[in-house]
Structure 1
């Protein structure tokens, strides 16, 4: 197989696993990542819920790919920000590295969510979605990392090379939903991972705890492992308040957000995805658009929201800055001041004492 053929396969895999396809034509009788008891969201082979399974097949994929409407992205969409974070923060500081990668500094702990410093969100280095802006924090400028939180196994969220790099530098506590630990260890068996089910929690030190909560999404690293690893959102509790990190999720009926509000109280900050949402007929069950994200913000009753998961990797049809435009319109419609829910750019920082620059 030549390099071009492998590249086409990698691009197809990226479409299947990053673009929102729950490919239902391949069946497996054994889960390759997780061997655990049946539960209300695991049937012994695949995870499911909350709500109905929304897997899509090859006909849906063909309809999307042949339907047109994919906006061209620039080769470069640089951010006006760059961050060199302090080593420790006693209060609360949140910086967007890019896409869904956040550096959360609170209570003297440094926590990364879905870290990806790789050039591509892809199973190979020479094909697949390529970043159009560099990480907002250079890897060598990172402070010592105490914990890494993984929401699910899609390549734009679970970058095993970055996780191994972090592990061998800082040996952080790595936390991931069930089954994702096997994927990480298959890449580097030195990495220790604590796997959580929905509703489970783990301490991160300094009085900070991470709680894994349900999300409307799915998982896959290829076309034959659909929903064999769990996915989820995180709630962080600490003396600085409650933080919510949605990862990837559809809005659906809003129940997952209202459940977080009921269980943990109104978050101080909610990091919500606002990109990778077109076409809606295809993406709606698993990716929020900005209007959905604004409604989720209201359901959570959060003090502050931060718009993430946009403008770094082209995964779907909308143009590179459409999420920012649509978010502004949705906030105006809801009569919410724009500073309460900015579309974050790589390197941009939020702290409770500061208003994010326009």
Structure 2
């Protein structure tokens, strides 16, 4: 499965050197020698083969109109956002594994919180970057053939997404660009601190991002994957967009810290980021579905609870989501 290559037509900028994208003033991804050091010395807690959600699979409504917002968690980084008459998926993954191989790699330990056939018609798909646990070409192809959604990704991912079906239309954009989704609703690509690759030879030939959805509810920030990076991703979003109603923040895949800290937040980082954003509510994701790193499967919500106590934040304002869970609960169908 080929990776994306950066286009020579893109201008050199503060985050593109003419060949590769990079984090301005931030840390690069770990070297392959560091990966080998981690893997050879890897420990951590074993995960169970199954970790079923306490929530039954969601059966979302066809549409949610007006200013109301309904959020359903599918698992890992996949959310269904419904509002303003739009159905929007983030980083949709319905595959059994997140890997270039169908027989090897991290395997799902709970089913998706919405069965694929129970999805309403999807209007928009947001893809934050190219790692296999966020960009699942099999799921994107299924969605395209069923619904013809608008697929939006940062620069460089079109060749990966179109690799299985050349007819798939992809809108790519740079940090700071706003993509209209419908009357009064825009998706704005925001700078976060991460990296991307599909293989060993295409590292950072494509870009990564978070998304702010303006005009959806009171505004939504989906962070994708990000390191804390001295709080700068959250400060930028707050400065550009003001207080938002909802932040979707990753809280998993953070151990060991010597390896993961620059690119993945732990729950304490996420709580600090939530404070910098000034958002009304946060939903935690990126935990409990695919084992990617060394922390135990139930460690992220435990660490989140401790961080919220430490910062004096009401735990009801930052939930560690489970597949099938709907926010706000009162709006569940």
Question: Is it true that 1:246 corresponds to 2:219 in the alignment?
Answer: no
What is the aligned counterpart of 1:94 among 56, 67, 71? 71
Q: Structure 1 residue 267: deviation in Å? A: 1.2
Question: Is it true that 1:57 corresponds to 2:31 in the alignment?
Answer: yes
- Counterparts of 2:32 and 2:22, CA distance in 1: 20
8 Å CA contact retained: 1:33, 1:182: no
TM-score under structure 1 length normalisation: 0.89
TM-score under structure 2 length normalisation: 0.95
What is the aligned counterpart of 1:84 among 53, 56, 59? 59
Give 2:197's aligned residue.
220
CA deviation vs aligned residue, 1:270-325 (integer Å, no higher than 9, x gap): 00000000000100000000000000000001100000010000000001110011
Give 1:103's aligned residue.
80
Give 1:343's aligned residue.
320
What is the aligned counterpart of 1:196 among 166, 173, 178? 173
- Counterparts of 2:112 and 2:172, CA distance in 1: 27
Query: Structure 2: which 5+ residue stretches go unaligned?
Result: none
Give 3-state SS (helix, strand or coil) of 1:253's partner.
helix
Give 1:42's aligned residue.
16
Question: Is it true that 1:262 corresponds to 2:216 in the alignment?
Answer: no
Aligned CA distance change for structure 1 residues 290 and 227 (closer, same or farther; 3 Å): same
Q: In the TM superposition, what are the counterparts of 1:1-358 in structure 2 within 5 Å? A: 32-35=5-8, 36-81=10-55, 82-90=57-65, 91-238=68-215, 240-351=217-328
Query: Structure 1: which 5+ residue stretches go unaligned?
Result: 1-9, 11-16, 18-30
CA deviation vs aligned residue, 1:81-123 (integer Å, no higher than 9, x gap): 1200000012100011000000000111000000000000011
Q: Structure 1 residue 40: deviation in Å? A: 1.3
Aligned CA distance change for structure 1 residues 61 and 179 (closer, same or farther; 3 Å): same
Give 3-state SS (helix, strand or coil) of 2:230's partner.
coil
8 Å CA contact retained: 1:50, 1:215: no
8 Å CA contact retained: 1:98, 1:345: yes
8 Å CA contact retained: 1:33, 1:183: no
Q: Structure 1 residue 166: deviation in Å? A: 0.3
- Counterparts of 1:333 and 1:175, CA distance in 2: 37
Give RMSD over aligned pairs.
1.6
CA deviation vs aligned residue, 1:160-213 (integer Å, no higher than 9, x gap): 110010001000000000001121112211110000100001111142110000
Q: Structure 1 residue 34: deviation in Å? A: 2.8
Runs of 4+ aligned structure 1 residues displaced above 3 Å come to none
8 Å CA contact retained: 2:14, 2:24: no
- Counterparts of 1:246 and 1:33, CA distance in 2: 23
Aligned residue-pair number: 327
